[in-house]
A and B are shown apart, each in its own frame.
Chain A
């Protein structure tokens, strides 16, 4: 670690430990003077409804419109907000709802491009769920449209970058506490068919787009993209190649999409990330483990721990650290605002996040719009993570490593 980096870390970590207050500071950031900002949601499926649930916690914003081509989903979305107008078509909403200054796109991945491009062309700030698209062409078109509209905020829905625990963990990862990166492992396990019921049989393919290799990036795309981004963000490195394999281990129901996948990302410094995902077994859920020569950090969405090597130097703050036992290992719980909580004798109360990561991503986006500042997670970040996801999906389909042209990462 260079002196500059170490000094930066000391400044960053001191800030993280003493300043980062999780509640209720962040809603207060959104509490601004003036008219509430009009926000519209496009895509009221399960993720869209989760977004509405988190928006309900924020102040200073008003959901003015909900758009979905499926009447049942649209009505479910409208149940979650008071006074919002419903639309079946995003163009009709952009034309007919001028009070919607920002739109949140939570449609199926392959539908993002026309909506994002139209919204930016109509002068709307955009939050777009990740992956940005299912093809390089669509992904680059979205990133180019965002670049061509510098006055507008474009946020990619890579939630880890707004997650206070992940931000804190990153500061440790980039310090002497973890030291030299050794290896990265990530997993996403859940038990589900990934099949959704359609209101009528004619819409079955539309609803089950995740199972269609023509329009879906499968597990590496829909879940892996967030975890690939964590590795890229923590290391500030880009993969040069992705290997992959996949098979159907449980849901042999005529689908062509693998229900269990493996990917290996090779970074430009020969660091490797192994990613596993399955819809056939849920043990362990979602996590990322980043190993360094002094310690390993395990991230699990709303919690994180550090496991130190026996020969790693002891840090002063470890005296009051909260610890948790994992079989034969003892993890130090990474807690935002730890110094303040420890001084109040309430360290254990800081374990975990008081809101889901989605809340912080939305809060960051709306704050950027309000303050006219760049998004925490930009279109370029979204492009890079999506490029890796697209190559990872190709690697699974081909069963062979896919080289990534570095030019693909540029907008």
Chain B
């Protein structure tokens, strides 16, 4: 019987299914992967005041904050996707989300009033010094659009480093990693219907504005216009193992863009459902009958 591990992290349920029978050694590897998920939850949580992201949000408006290699790679990725998506992906959207009541659980800073949105104008990454600084006080980064994929990438690395090559790992079903050559069929709901896609040795990210709604405001905002992204029902991005964070960032961007831009990296496959039809790029989706 396969070994299933589960935990609550990253604001959702995270599950790891390992394709081998339970053994103390395999469980130890699975727990190490889950510990990696928790580590990144604790570092990247917008809602926990003691997370490193909260430290950045409190401090980077006042001084440069040094980043380790992993955090640098994540924030560098955010900058690249922000640029390539012409601003459709923007972690500084936290200010907008706060004003819309979607970040009600997070108190405003004791010291600073919330700043506007706009990565390019507000965030300065120094590659030589590996630091981040905000050009204005009150800027808040919300890495919710990439944190799940990034944590799953790190957990996948842990599994592979310890010789586990066949597993499925997901965070709230919206970020999924399929390790190994065996095909896995996954279900996706879009436009009121159910579809399936088959993955092997890949990661998947699903974004849908309907995920969380407060009043008439959806949890995915279009940072370019400062209001809810409404044109897309569901966006999927599929990438190679290790590109979960990038897939997450792009699936968020596609919800705002409603179209695959030329600047999107070719290795990432995509599908966008506008509520009626799919617009797909190298992804095969099957319409699936509803379960009885």
Q: Which residue numbers of A lie inside 8 Å of B, CB to CB?
A: 23-24, 27, 46, 49, 52-53, 56-57, 59, 72, 79-82, 192-193, 195-197, 199, 251, 253-254, 302, 341, 344, 346, 348-349, 352-356, 359
Contact = CB atoms under 8 A, between A and B. Distances in A.
B52 A352 contact: no
A353 B110 contact: no
B165 interface: no
Interface string B59-81: 10011001111100000000000
Nearest to A282: B7
A302 B54 CA distance: 15
B146 to A, nearest CB: 19
A349 B110 contact: yes
B181 interface: no
A79 B69 contact: yes
Contact of B69 (A27, A80, A197): A80
Contacts, number: 77
A197 B28 contact: yes
Contacts of B24: 193, 195, 251, 253-254
Given A56-B66, A355-B55, A302 B50 contact: yes
Contacts of A254: 24
B161 interface: yes
B130 A193 contact: no
A180 B63 CA distance: 47
Given A195-B25, A356-B50, 4 more contacts: A57-B59, A346-B110, A354-B54, A354-B58
Interface residues of B, number: 31
Contact of A355 (B39, B50, B63): B50
- Chain A interface main SS type: loop
B58 A80 contact: no
Q: Which of B31, B63, B70 has the most CB of A within 10 A?
A: B31
B50 A72 contact: no
Nearest to B66: A56
7 contacts: A53-B52, A56-B66, A193-B31, A196-B28, A197-B32, A341-B110, A346-B110
B2 interface: no
Contacts of A253: 24
Nearest to B59: A24
Contact of B49 (A79, A251, A352): A352
B68 A81 contact: yes
Contacts of B58: 23-24, 354
B43 interface: yes
Contacts of A348: 107
Given A82-B130, A195-B27, A349 B50 contact: no
Contact of B25 (A80, A197, A356): A197
Closest 3 CB pairs of A and B: A349-B107, A195-B28, A253-B24
A193 B66 contact: no
Nearest to A355: B50
A195 to B, nearest CB: 4
Given A193-B28, A354-B50, A72 B161 contact: yes
A79 B68 contact: yes
A339 to B, nearest CB: 14
A82 B24 CA distance: 36
Contacts of B50: 302, 352-356, 359
A253 B43 CA distance: 32
Nearest to A207: B28
A355 B52 CA distance: 8
B35 interface: yes
A196 B26 CA distance: 10
A46 B63 CA distance: 28
Contacts of A251: 24
A16 B27 CA distance: 45
B282 to A, nearest CB: 33
Interface string B251-275: 0000000000000000000000000
Interface string B104-123: 00011010000000000000
